[in-house]
Structure formats: structure tokens, C-alpha cells
Structure 1
């Protein structure tokens, strides 16, 4: 079915409570009851119990519902939803384990595959959470050396901060230079700074000291529009082998987030740190409404393009077999977004 829009939540305080009520009902044929539900991003997941009146047969299946909630919608339609069950093979596959554990066995092929993919995504998320992220002062040791534009090929860094930058940068313990790179897709180990100092017998690496800029400073990020002759290679570089799916995801997110978007030509952009994003070619700003987080704001077309590209990269990266370019592209674009003049609006929209 398509999207259904309403002008109120019928007295319920949250979209979750409203949807719980929608999927809890009784008639002459069966009784439906939501046993447990959860909202993940812009998606509602629920374990729904159904007991047939005729023979008392009980089953518990998953319901998945896309939704958007805009309390200050100009047209008055504050809530829109699109629901489906697991038997139709929904694309959204980030269902919490507590809901999956309640589901009864099923013979539906799509449902079996959907449950397996959700379990795989949960395992992947747990693995990512177990990997520690560097903090200021930490020592990062890469399994494979990274070669930079200055010709240096190094593996050991200290995470530190540079002036006018929100994200951490990395000072090479071999050259003393500052570098900027992402850890997504890299095998690395974190060592306490004190142990690294003791092992090397070098001077104390006090992370509170101002980092010394060398002849290889961290350059300001710059963005350029991709020339028409180079556009054919842009999408595969951004989305890997899923470039067609990624492009469609960007356009789909723009349709949902910017209500006055009616299609059109898009520009492609590349950033000096390797980030890439698409943006609609238009002069008027985009009124963006966040799904489920209550965000509402006016963004330039470029900022709106960054938001929709980040949505697409994040959304696809959780799918089984996702190309490594998705996670790497998200991390690089996140870094650029931190320095964008509309950073507060961008992160308000994707939060």
C-alpha cells in the first residue's frame, strides 16, 4: 500500500503510541495485539500477536512501518505512514532483537530471509560497537601503512586536535606531521599513550599541549563540482557496486524530506578529503522536515544534498553485503559536514 497521511495522532502523545493503537484491534475473525514495539530512526517495528477466533491458532509476526512526523506541517497533515509485514520482504532490516525473539516460526520465504538479515545486521552493529573509537591522546596503530600526499607511508599516530577543527586529527609518531583520514574499513589497534611512551622511550605525549604544525599541515577542506565528462565515474566511487541503488535512495530521501521537491537535475560534488555528495540543481532553498526527530529548517540546496546523501549512505551501509564504500563515504562526508557553514542544520536533520 501507499502512504497514509492524517492530521492528528488521535490523542496519542507519540508516533509509537499511535501506531501501537493502529495495530491493536479485534473483529469477528481475529484478535490483534502489539506485544512489543520500537522506533529505529524513521522506522517503527512491532511484534504483533494474532489469535484466530475460529480455532484459537496463535501467531506472532513482525510489522514494519515507515513514518514521518511533522507537528508543524504547513498543510496540516502532521503524520504519514506506510506499513507492511515481514512476509513481503521489507527493505528496512534493523529490527531490535527483543522483537525478533517474540516472533513465532514461519514458512514464508521472505519473512525467513528478513529475520536472518536483521540478525546479521544486529551482529554487525555489535561488532562495530566493540571496536573502540580514538579519543584525544590515544595512540592509533594501523595494521597496514597509509600513504599520504607528502609521500610519507606511516602506521602509528596520536589522536589530537588542531585549531578550528571539530574532529580529531592524527599526528604521526614517525614524522611528526598532522594528517586527516578515516578509520572506517581499516584494521587498527588503540594503545594508551603512557604505554607507547614507555615502549619507545620518547618524550611524554601530553594530549593537552597544542599540536605542533609541521611542513605538512592539515589543509582546509575544499569542494568542487564534478565536470560533466567525469560524472559517469562519480556514483560508483561513492556507492561502490550499489551505485544505482544509492542514487535512487538519495532521490527518494529528498522526496520525503523536502516536500516541494519535484525532481530535476542534480549536481555532483567532490571534497578534498575524498567525500562525495549529490545536490539538486536549484536556486531556491529547501524546506526540510526530519522523520521522527521533529526537525524543521530551511537549508541551501547543497546542504540538503549533503543530508540526503548521508541518509542514503547510512541506510544502505546496514544492509548485508554492503560495499565498503558506503561506510567510508559516510565518515568522510560527516567530516566535511562538520565544517560546513550549515553544520548545525545538517546535523539537526540527520540526528
Structure 2
């Protein structure tokens, strides 16, 4: 029998917002942040630019989450088309951005940055596995 323990994510407070993205994405934080926004515009037809929440995971790492309740998410390449919560959309978009940055940095001499992204990917997947909507998140990321 498989037991999963749901981890409680913590919203980053206003005072810590400026340090969160460098913590999450390292030196690559501006490019990675813009990638999340770009993916939101691509995969969330009803998304309008706006405020994003930053969420820190208890085991390290975190994700960005758009403001709102639910979003229709479409990824034609992955055959994903369904409505998800803002949290699930944020987790998916952050995971995609981390993966894109790993691929973009592959072959570069910045081993520390690649190691950080691999760690963040591992931490996020660890959280996804215990998330109540893990099946939808996994389906979107396949």
C-alpha cells in the first residue's frame, strides 16, 4: 500500500519577494521568470498579465503561481486541455520553465546553475508526487 504525505507550501511574504526568485532560479532568475510568464501566455488562453504569488516548498525550492482561481490550460504538443487551479497552473508552468532552462544550459560551462535547476526540479517533483492533483500535473508535464 502506498501512503503519501501532503506537504504544505508556504506563500512568500512581501518582505521576502525580492530574494525569492534568485533563491529559486539562481543567477538565471530573470530569464527563468520571463520564461514562466511566456509559458503562461502560451498555455493559458484566459491569462492576463498580473500579479504572481511566490510559493516556497517545505523541503526546498518552490514555484510561481498566477493570481486567480482557475485557468483553462492547453498544451497541444502534450495533448493536455483542461481547467486547473491557479496553483496547479503555477506548478506546471514553473516545472516547464525549469526544464527549459536545464535544456538551454546543457553543454554550457555553468555547472553550478545546472545543478541548481536539477535540484529545483527534484524538489518540485517531490512536492508534485504528494499533491492532491498530481495526476493532472503529471499529465500536463508528459
Aligned length: 136
Structure 1 residue 313 corresponds to structure 2 residue 88:
no
Matching residue of 1:276: 62
For 1:101-160, what per-residue CA distance to the aligned partner results, in whole angstroms no more than 9, with x for missing partners?
A: xxxxxxxxxxxxxxxxxxxxxxxxxxxxxxxxxxxxxxxxxxxxxxxxxxxxxxxxxxxx
Structure 1 residue 164 corresponds to structure 2 residue 9:
no
For 1:35-90, what per-residue CA distance to the aligned partner results, in whole angstroms no more than 9, with x for missing partners?
A: xxxxxxxxxxxxxxxxxxxxxxxxxxxxxxxxxxxxxxxxxxxxxxxxxxxxxxxx
For 1:183-217, what per-residue CA distance to the aligned partner results, in whole angstroms no more than 9, with x for missing partners?
A: xxxxxxxxxxxxxxxxxxxxxxxxxxxxxxxxxxx
Matching residue of 1:18: none
Which consecutive aligned stretches of 4+ in structure 1 deviate over 4 angstroms post-superposition?
none
In 1, distance between residues paired with 2:13 and 2:91?
18
In 2, distance between residues paired with 1:233 and 1:295?
33
Matching residue of 2:34: 248
Matching residue of 1:221: 7
Residues 225 and 270 in structure 1, CA contact (< 8 A), matched pair in contact too: yes
TM-score, structure 2 as length reference: 0.90
Matching residue of 1:168: none
Question: Which structure: greater helix fraction?
Answer: 2
User: Taking CA–CA contacts closer than 8 Å with sequence separation of 6 or more, which of the two structures ends up with the larger relative contact order?
Assistant: 2
Matching residue of 1:133: none
In 1, distance between residues paired with 2:15 and 2:42?
30
Larger radius of gyration: 1
Residues 32 and 98 in structure 2, CA contact (< 8 A), matched pair in contact too: yes
Question: Which structure: greater strand fraction?
Answer: 1
| Correspondence 1:31-110 to 2 at 5 A | none
TM-score, structure 1 as length reference: 0.37
The offset of 1:291, in angstroms, is 3.8
| Correspondence 1:111-130 to 2 at 5 A | none
Q: Calculate the aligned-residue CA RMSD, in Å.
A: 1.6
Secondary structure of residue in 2 paired with 1:254: helix
For 1:308-327, what per-residue CA distance to the aligned partner results, in whole angstroms no more than 9, with x for missing partners?
A: 00000001012223612211
The offset of 1:262, in angstroms, is 1.3
In 2, distance between residues paired with 1:223 and 1:262?
25
In 1, distance between residues paired with 2:97 and 2:76?
14
Residues 290 and 350 in structure 1, CA contact (< 8 A), matched pair in contact too: no
